[in-house]
């Protein structure tokens, strides 16, 4: 039997813990369908979404492949964010071409070899790119990617918070396990979208969420084109007013959340690739909530049937959140199965096998 009845018949409140990309997207989509939603966040204390650069890219440059489920994720992403822009009355979704500047001869060869492959070709733009030489050093050349862009996540989160606050359906505070048990006992549905930091008395001890530290810089960069995102190993996203977000770093096993010297690698790469001078106006760091197989985590608890999880968005939260929020909602309303690649039970099954 489906967990949720139709919105007009459903009596339970859906309580979402965590208002990052996962919780905001799930909450807004459920609200849009007519469900009663209440969101809690502890003030973005451990938020990954507040730090994220917000970029999406249908291709992986490591091996020049279409990224996992890119076609489905992109179409759901466009449909969802444009609908949510309408609902919230703000503009945060910015599709934009992406200029790939080949960092070495190997990347240039890979592009030449694979860009006509049917898997990759739909996302390659053969447009002549004007004035790249004016802005970038590109000894190995460059190419354009279609279907990329960036989401202004901070604006998305702030507008979502204001939207739910205006309906008295948002509270800023830390939620503890005891409170979740009390809500479940009164028949509410609770979904934990709480990112990388497990709460004390974690209900999901079978589900390993790992952390990957990332750092981003905001640069003041005069004279650079703002028509496209650029990627030369690191990326630059035009934010407007000569500001650019530059990132990012990847550190497995880092224990502290503080900005560090590691971000110097971003600075060095920008200095090497961009022909304009820049200054750093901001430096932030956070943890990405990741999984060993780099797939999201969702599903309902087996001992607490009213408790769900939506997590593990890793480094691709912008692209993954809309599709998998909808996937979760279809599971709750139509009892359709959760894809096994993203179901939290995969971790338990793997552990039992080994």
Ligand X SMILES: Cc1cc2nc3c(=O)[nH]c(=O)nc-3n(C[C@H](O)[C@H](O)[C@H](O)COP(=O)(O)OP(=O)(O)OC[C@H]3O[C@@H](n4cnc5c(N)ncnc54)[C@H](O)[C@@H]3O)c2cc1C
Instruction: Quote the CA–CA distance of 77 and 88 in Å, as a whole number.
Output: 16
Cα separations (Å) of 126 from 39, 129, 226? Answer: 45, 9, 20
Name every residue whose Cβ is closer than 8 Å to that of residue 14 and which is 6 or more positions away in sequence.
4, 27, 30, 35, 36, 37, 38, 188, 189, 190, 191
Q: Which parts of 331-350 interact with ligand X (CB under 6 A)?
A: none
Q: Does 216 bind ligand X (CB under 6 A)?
A: yes
How crowded is residue 320: how many other Cβ atoms within 10 Å of its Cβ? 26
CB of 130 to ligand X, least distance (A): 26
Nearer to ligand X, 58 or 247 (CB): 247
Nearer to ligand X, 107 or 231 (CB): 231
Q: At CA 181, angle to CA 48 and CA 206, rounded to 5?
A: 55
Q: Which stretch binds ligand X (CB under 6 A): 69-77, 84-92, 110-118, 310-318?
A: 310-318
Choose which of 16, 26, 27, 44 interacts with ligand X (CB under 6 A): 44
Binding mask 139-178 for ligand X (x = CB under 6 A): -----------------------------------xx---
Nearer to ligand X, 108 or 315 (CB): 315
307: tokens are 């408790």
User: What residue has token string 């500047």?
Assistant: 101
CB of 8 to ligand X, least distance (A): 29
Choose which of 266, 298, 318, 332 interacts with ligand X (CB under 6 A): 318
Choose which of 15, 28, 30, 40 interacts with ligand X (CB under 6 A): 40
Nearer to ligand X, 144 or 235 (CB): 235
Nearer to ligand X, 108 or 236 (CB): 236
Cα separations (Å) of 268 from 262, 271, 274, 277? Answer: 11, 5, 10, 12
Pair type for strands 93-95 and 65-66 = unpaired
CB of 9 to ligand X, least distance (A): 29
Instruction: Quote the CA–CA distance of 217 and 324 in Å, as a whole number.
Output: 29
Nearer to ligand X, 7 or 208 (CB): 208
Do 320 and 73 touch, CB atoms closer than 8 A?
Answer: yes
Instruction: Quote the CA–CA distance of 320 and 21 in Å, as a whole number.
Output: 9
CB of 127 to ligand X, least distance (A): 24
Instruction: Quote the CA–CA distance of 53 and 73 in Å, as a whole number.
Output: 18
Q: Does 230 bind ligand X (CB under 6 A)?
A: no
Distance of CA 231 to the CA centre of its chain: 18
Binding mask 256-295 for ligand X (x = CB under 6 A): ------------------------------x-xx------
Q: At CA 259, angle to CA 253 and CA 260, rounded to 5?
A: 75
CB of 229 to ligand X, least distance (A): 10
CB of 253 to ligand X, least distance (A): 15
Choose which of 100, 135, 234, 316 interacts with ligand X (CB under 6 A): 316
Q: Does 48 bind ligand X (CB under 6 A)?
A: yes
Instruction: Quote the CA–CA distance of 257 and 78 in Å, as a whole number.
Output: 32
Q: Does 191 bind ligand X (CB under 6 A)?
A: no
Nearer to ligand X, 21 or 300 (CB): 21
Choose which of 4, 14, 16, 17 interacts with ligand X (CB under 6 A): 17
User: Total number of residues binding ligand X (CB under 6 A)?
Assistant: 45
Q: Does 46 bind ligand X (CB under 6 A)?
A: yes
Residue among 296, 290, 294 nearest 344 (CA): 296
Instruction: Quote the CA–CA distance of 209 and 23 in Å, as a whole number.
Output: 16
Q: Does 190 bind ligand X (CB under 6 A)?
A: no
Residues that bind ligand X (CB under 6 A): 17-23, 40-42, 44-49, 51-56, 174-175, 193-195, 197, 199, 214-216, 247-248, 286, 288-289, 311, 313-319
């Amino acid at each position: 039997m489906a967990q949720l009845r139709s919105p007009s018949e459903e009596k339970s409140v859906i309580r979402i813990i965590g208002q990052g990309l996962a919780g905001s997207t799930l909450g807004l989509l459920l609200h849009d369908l007519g469900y009663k939603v209440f969101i809690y966040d502890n003030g973005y204390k451990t938020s990954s979404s507040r730090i994220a650069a917000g970029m999406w890219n249908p291709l992986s440059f490591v091996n020049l492949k279409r990224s996992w489920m890119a076609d489905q994720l992109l179409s759901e992403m466009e449909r969802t964010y444009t609908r949510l822009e309408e609902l919230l009355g703000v503009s945060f979704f910015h599709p934009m071409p992406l200029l790939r500047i080949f960092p070495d001869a190997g990347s240039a060869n890979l592009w030449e070899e694979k860009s006509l492959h049917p898997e990759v070709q739909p996302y390659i733009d053969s447009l002549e790119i004007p004035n790249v030489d004016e802005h970038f050093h590109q000894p190995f050349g460059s190419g354009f990617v279609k279907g990329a862009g960036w989401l202004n996540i901070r604006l998305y989160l702030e507008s979502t918070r204001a939207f739910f606050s205006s309906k008295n359906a948002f509270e800023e505070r830390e939620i503890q396990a005891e409170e979740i048990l009390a809500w479940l006992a009164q028949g509410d549905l609770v979904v934990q979208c709480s990112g990388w930091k497990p709460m004390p008395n974690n209900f999901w001890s079978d589900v390993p969420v790992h952390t990957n530290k990332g750092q981003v810089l905001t640069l003041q960069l005069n004279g650079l084109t703002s028509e496209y995102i650029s990627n030369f190993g690191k990326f630059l996203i035009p934010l407007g007013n000569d500001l650019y977000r530059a990132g990012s770093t990847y550190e497995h096993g880092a224990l502290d959340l503080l900005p560090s010297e590691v971000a110097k690698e971003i600075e060095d790469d920008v200095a090497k690739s961009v022909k304009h001078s820049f200054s750093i106006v901001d430096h932030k760091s956070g943890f990405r909530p990741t999984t060993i197989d780099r797939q999201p985590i969702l599903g309902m608890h087996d001992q607490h049937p009213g408790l769900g999880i939506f997590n593990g968005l890793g480094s691709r939260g912008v692209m993954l959140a809309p599709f998998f929020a909808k996937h979760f909602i279809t599971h709750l309303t139509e009892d359709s199965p959760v894809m096994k690649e993203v179901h939290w039970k995969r971790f338990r099954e793997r552990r039992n096998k080994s």
